[in-house]
């Protein structure tokens, strides 16, 4: 019980920002960016024969997606680490094996996260680059071999700047307005860090929208006959999201969302890497696991071939993982079948099932009520995942959607809605996590339940006990339930 003291009442109002608005003043192009863990893509609204359509912008190598990789050439400026040459996309990926300490990939898994997060600590054990603690805010930062410290937002900004320049060259005009997508289950810190990255890249980020929502926009906007309940199953390089949407006559209403911000293709790759190491050590008992795992170049080469094997097994039944001189004079040749991959990664695949069931429960619908299932993210090309999704919903997923491009296309559509290029569409999203504040004694006081449609306004009267001191409630939280 609170001790007696002078009582005051605090009226608390929370207003969320509109996810939909039309602003005719935004005359310039608004690009949509899918800032992915493994690959990123950018799109815009093209006006062709009086029809507005979202279109992917190819990069300077003619590719429709760009690897989300940034590398620093430490040899280019040995005396001044701030002047080092940077490589982005495929240029960074090509030199990854010989410069693994200074090549940063999958940093989306770190953005906005505290260094002490268990997920960050887990990543530190497998990443070839150095993850350090920022003393000023306790977050996970990155360090090159010569000591240049960069936040994940700074790394992301280099990639975003490249996509911005690519767009400007493609469109022949300056671009500074963007909509950027994030996993639906990103928290406030991760969303803000993504916006910060956009600002550092010279972009005015008009909106940060959820990836599954963007995918649904891309799916439903071209043909208004695509009405009904839509499930978006999004398993990408680093995160998993599931969203349930109701689409009707141009209104896209998110009914529920759930997910896992640390589950994706990177985890599948790591399972394969461990399998390869175990096999290699079994065949070469004189070599220890520690010898392999402490060799950064070897680990990066193993990761590269593991990713290729995973991709190959999406369309063939058997492949061979081959790597000459994998360690010292030893060569690697490990066969792997689709069935073996399925078995060794089944626990990861099964981690997507509880979020799906929870989203259906939160939306108050049964699997058979879903009209269409959309697959998003490169991992959904894996046959076993498609089979699990089919079993979950009792129907085959829609195969008309490109899992690598649909999120960027949806982001461009949202940009078109904001600028007024696209009319008569409305997006109603939800807050994925419960919102609340910290009250007396560190207790959490929930205000807005998860899956509440936004915009929303809530009021709460709180009793404050003042013992002759000034009291300020300053902490606002999102919490994951269940």
- CA torsion sign for 245, 258, 353, 407 is positive
Which is catalytic among the residues 34, 101, 267, 429? Answer: 34
97 belongs to a structural domain: yes
Helix (H, G, I), strand (E, B) or coil at 149: strand
The verdict on residue 178 lying in a domain is no
Domain stop point among 293, 315, 348: 348
> What local confidence, expressed as pLDDT, does residue 474 receive?
45
Give the pLDDT score at 432: 73
pLDDT exceeds cutoff 80 at 387? yes
Average pLDDT estimate for 219-248: 88
Question: How many of the other CB atoms lie within 10 Å of CB of 324?
Answer: 10
Per-residue pLDDT of 150-209, as tens digits, reads 999 999 999 999 999 999 999 999 999 999 999 998 988 999 999 999 999 999 999 999
| pLDDT at residue 459, rounded to an integer | 72
> 406 lies in a domain?
no
Q: How far apart are CA 417 and CA 89, in angstroms?
A: 29
Q: Which has more confidence, 122 or 466?
A: 122
pLDDT of 24 higher than 80: no
Alpha helices in 172-201 (DSSP H): 188-200
Give the pLDDT score at 464. Answer: 58
Residue 223, in any domain of the structure? no
Structural element, H or E, at residue 302: helix 296-312
Read off the DSSP letter of residue 370. Answer: -
pLDDT at residue 6 tops 60: no
Q: Percentage of the chain surpassing pLDDT 90?
A: 73
Are residues 13 and 74 located together in one domain of the fold? no
Name the active-site residue from 101, 123, 196, 211. 211
* Counted domains in the chain: 3
Give the H or E element holding residue 362.
Answer: helix 353-362
Phi, psi (deg, nearest 5) at residue 50? 65, 15
pLDDT band at residue 49, thresholds of 50, 70 and 90? confident
Catalytic position from the list 234, 246, 266, 307: 234
- Both tokens of 401, joined, read 């959607």
What's 153's domain CATH number?
3.30.420.40
Check if 342 is active-site.
no
Confidence of residue 435 (pLDDT cuts 50, 70, 90): confident
Is residue 19 predicted with pLDDT exceeding 90?
no
Residue at 163 is within a domain:
no
pLDDT tens sequence across 392-431: 999 999 988 999 999 999 999 999 999 989 888 888 877 7
Last residue of a domain, one of 307, 329, 348: 348
Residue 3, pLDDT > 50, answer: no
Q: Reply yes or no on whether the pLDDT at 128 is more than 60.
A: yes
Question: Among 172-186, 193-207, 272-286, 457-471, which stretch is predicted with the lowest mean pLDDT?
Answer: 457-471
Which residue matches tokens 């609204």?
Answer: 45
Selecting among 108, 161, 303, 310, the annotated active-site residue is 108
Cα–Cα distance for residue pair 176/161, rounded to 1 Å: 10
Q: Is residue 136 part of a domain?
A: yes
Looking at 158, 176, 192, which one is the last position of a domain? 158
CB atoms within 10 A of CB 386: 18
> Across all residues in the chain, what is the average pLDDT?
88
Clarify whether 211 is annotated catalytic. yes
- Would you say residue 147 lies in a domain? yes
Residue 17 has pLDDT above 50, yes or no: no
Helices 338-350, 383-393: crossing angle, 10 deg rounding:
50
CA distance 356 to 352: 7
What is the reported pTM? 0.86
**CA torsion angle 193 195 197 200 (round to 10):** -130
Give the range among 12-26, 154-168, 289-303, 365-379 with minimum mean pLDDT. Answer: 12-26
> Which residues have C-beta within 8 Å of that of residue 327, sequence separation ≥ 6?
280, 287, 291, 292, 295, 298
Q: Does 451 fall in a domain?
A: yes
Distances (CA, A) of 12 to 75, 420, 459, 476: 55, 34, 5, 11
Residue 293 has a pLDDT of 92
Cα(274)–Cα(293) distance, rounded to whole angstroms?
10
Cα separation of 157 and 112, whole Å? 14
What's the distance, CA 58 to chain centroid?
A: 21
Return the structure tokens found at 197: 């990255």
pLDDT tens, position by position, 98-118: 999 999 999 999 999 999 999
What per-residue confidence (pLDDT) applies to 131?
98
Domain of residue 75, residue span: 68-158
Q: Which residue has the higher pLDDT, 51 or 351?
A: 351
Looking at residue 268, what is its pLDDT? 98
């Amino acid at each position: 019980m609170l001790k007696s003291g002078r009582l005051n009442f605090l009226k608390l109002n929370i207003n969320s920002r509109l996810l939909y608005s039309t602003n005719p003043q935004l005359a310039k192009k608004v690009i949509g960016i899918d800032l992915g863990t493994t690959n990123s893509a950018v799109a815009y609204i093209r006006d062709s024969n009086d029809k507005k359509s979202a279109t992917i912008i190819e990069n300077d190598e003619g590719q429709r997606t760009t690897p989300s990789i940034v590398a620093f050439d430490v040899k280019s400026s040995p005396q001044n680490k701030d002047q080092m040459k940077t490589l982005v996309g495929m240029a960074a990926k090509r030199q990854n094996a010989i410069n693994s300490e200074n090549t940063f990939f999958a940093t989306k898994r770190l953005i906005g996260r505290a260094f002490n997060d268990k997920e960050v600590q887990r990543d530190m054990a497998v990443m070839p680059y150095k993850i350090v603690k920022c003393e000023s805010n306790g977050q996970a930062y990155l360090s090159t071999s010569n000591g240049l410290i960069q936040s994940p937002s700074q790394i992301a900004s280099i990639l975003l700047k490249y996509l911005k320049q690519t767009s400007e060259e493609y469109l022949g005009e300056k671009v500074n307005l963007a909509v950027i997508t994030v996993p639906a289950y990103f928290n406030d810190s991760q969303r803000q860090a993504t916006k910060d990255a956009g600002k550092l890249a010279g972009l005015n980020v008009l909106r940060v929208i959820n990836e599954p929502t963007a995918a649904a926009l891309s799916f439903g906007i071209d043909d208004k006959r695509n009405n009904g309940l839509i499930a978006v199953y999004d398993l990408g390089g680093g995160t998993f999201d599931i969203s349930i949407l109701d689409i009707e006559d141009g209104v896209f209403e998110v009914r529920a969302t759930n997910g896992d911000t640390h589950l994706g293709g990177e985890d599948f790759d790591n399972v394969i890497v461990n399998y390869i190491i175990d096999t290699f050590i079994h065949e070469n008992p004189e070599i220890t696991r520690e010898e392999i795992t402490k060799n950064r170049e070897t680990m990066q080469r193993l990761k590269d071939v593991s990713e290729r094997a995973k991709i190959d097994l999406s369309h063939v039944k058997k492949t061979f993982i081959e790597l000459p001189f994998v360690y010292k004079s030893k060569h690697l040749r490990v066969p792997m079948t689709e069935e073996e991959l399925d078995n060794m990664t089944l626990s990861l695949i099964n981690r997507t099932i509880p979020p799906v069931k929870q989203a259906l429960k939160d939306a108050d619908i049964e699997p058979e009520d879903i009209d269409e299932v959309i697959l998003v993210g490169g991992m959904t090309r894996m046959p076993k995942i498609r089979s699990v999704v089919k079993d979950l919903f009792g129907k085959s997923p829609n195969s008309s959607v490109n899992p690598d491009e649909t999120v960027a296309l949806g982001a461009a559509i949202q940009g078109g809605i904001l600028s007024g290029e696209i009319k008569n569409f409305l997006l109603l999203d939800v807050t994925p996590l419960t919102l609340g504040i910290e009250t007396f004694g560190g207790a959490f006081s929930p205000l807005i339940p998860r899956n509440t449609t936004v915009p929303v306004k809530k009021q709460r009267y709180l009793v404050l006990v003042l013992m002759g001191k000034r009291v300020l409630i300053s902490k606002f939280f999102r919490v994951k339930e269940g």
